[in-house]
Amino acid sequence: MASSPRFGFVVEYVADLDAARRFFVEVLGLTVEREHPTFVEFVDPAGVHCAIASDEPLEPGNQRELYWLVADAEAAYRELAPRALIRVPLKTMPYGKVFGIQDPAGQAHYWLELAANRPSRPV
């Protein structure tokens, strides 16, 4: 596959970002890797990433979002569009270029090319 996806992270939407941040750090023992006023990305000792956010999800509802990272989202979109159900068309967000496809169970998977200067900052 030309787009060569690799698993990126899961985003969970929360009502209270500060309380959720404390839980992930103090209870789960995760390390904060990147922060923004509406987003916190964590990493566990094995290098697995997850994130919490308090802004709006890409689609209605409060489902967890699964992100796959690619070097070129436009190429990945062109490659996948003929053979996958597109749930979210390719668009540019402050954090990068993203689109969503649907798996056979109805779960969305988001393909993301991270922006070089995304709004979250390393800690």
* Dist. CA 111–CA 98, nearest whole Å: 6
Domain ranges (residues) in the chain: 6-116
Total residues found in the chain within this entry: 123
The CATH T-level fold of domain 6-116 is 2,3-Dihydroxybiphenyl 1,2-Dioxygenase; domain 1 (3.10.180)
Give the chain's end-to-end CA distance (angstroms, integer).
Answer: 34
pTM, rounded to two decimals: 0.81
Residue found by looking up tokens 């109805």 in the block: 106
pLDDT in tens, 66-123: 999 999 999 999 999 999 999 999 999 999 999 999 987 788 899 999 999 999 988 8
pLDDT attached to residue 61: 79
Give the span between the Cα atoms of 116 and 92, in whole angstroms.
Answer: 13
